[in-house]
Amino acid sequence: MAISSMDVGAMVMPMAVSSDRRHLYAVIRAQPYRVLTLAIDPESGRLRQEAAAALPDSMAYVALDPTGGLLLAASYGGNKIAVLLIDKNGLVTAQAQQVIATGRNAHSIVTDRTGKYVFVTNLGSDAVQQFILHPGTGILKPNDPAQVLTGKGFGPRHIVVSPDNKAVYVLTELTGHVVHYALDADRGTLREVESVASIPEDAGLSPGLAPDAVSPDNGEPKIWAADIGITPDGRFLYTTERTTSRLALLKIDVDNGRLTYVTNYPTEQQPRGIRIDPSGRFLVASGEKSDRLSVYAIDQSDGGLALVGRYPVNAGANWIEMVTFP
């Protein structure tokens, strides 16, 4: 395996890949806040910076709309989201065309599979905001209702949308639940179906504390869930928990989208990021306190994970993007 690196500055995360696989968009969370457009060499995978654009705050999450014409960003500390235009050459060169104040701690932002609707998690407000995306202008406006609430103290963090666009799954950082919402395709609104724990009771963890919590810390180890991924066939879902450094496997009923917790696996220390390759055959996990990536083969019959190997990276790896070429 060949390894190379590119120095782009301090605190690079999060990232997103263009649908044509020609560009990687990398956010710098140190001052000055900016997003870099990096060209991807299809032969070597090496990166070359082509553009940089200012961001209105430190952004914890970025995603693209399905057209590849918009970069959507969420700021955890700034309590806001932003929309930036991607030009016809795939470059982000201008500052945000729209900045919207959110509830507390906007942690992630995604569109549905059609690109008509946008969802934003607010960890500190225990809410998932709902927006309508105007197809011509790329401007967001609140849907009706403007948000749905999770359980109090859940702390919604990351989101995935099912491949069939019928369900939205939200991982809660402070309780480790996966909240399953049914997506109304006509209105773009969410309806909670179930909330399934991805962390077994015998893990010995208590719920985490919200950023503005007034309750005293009981000193017990806390739930600290991080990332969520779904296989391309929509049959299996995976989450990470950082305190115990484990990956959880949940099975999805393809008929109704309902979840069943199956098991969990040890992985890299303090796992923050996971990605599933486009074929659905492999899962890659990184750890904030590890200098390795773990690669797992996904059993196509039951979703089980088998370690393929661990590979060196710089210490503190926390975000993964995958690009495959013919």
pLDDT digits (tens, 9 = 90+) for 282-301: 999 999 999 999 999 999 99
Taking residues 46-65, what's their average pLDDT?
97
| Res. 58 pLDDT band, cuts 50 70 90 | very high
Residues facing 180 on adjacent strands: 169, 194
What distance in Å separates the CA atoms of residue 82 and residue 175, rounded to the nearest whole number?
28
Check residue 219 and give its pLDDT.
82
What are the tens digits of pLDDT across the range 187-228? 999 999 999 999 999 999 999 988 877 777 778 899 999 999
Closest Cα partner for 294 from 322, 275, 280? 275
What are the tens digits of pLDDT across the range 11-27? 899 999 999 999 999 99
Residue 272: pLDDT above 90? yes
Residue 3: pLDDT above 60? yes
- 218 Cβ neighbours under 8 A, 6+ residues apart: 206
Taking residues 245-272, what's their average pLDDT?
98
- Of 4-8, 214-218, 232-236, which has the strongest mean pLDDT? 232-236
Closest Cα partner for 159 from 222, 237, 232, 259? 237
Closest Cα partner for 183 from 118, 254, 105, 101? 118
Residue 246: pLDDT above 80? yes
- 286 Cβ neighbours under 8 A, 6+ residues apart: 268, 271, 272, 273, 274, 293, 313, 317, 318, 319, 320
Residue 262: pLDDT above 60? yes
State what percent of residues in the chain have pLDDT above 90: 89
Choice between 8 and 251, residue whose per-residue pLDDT is larger: 251
| Res. 7 pLDDT band, cuts 50 70 90 | confident
Residue 1: pLDDT above 60? no
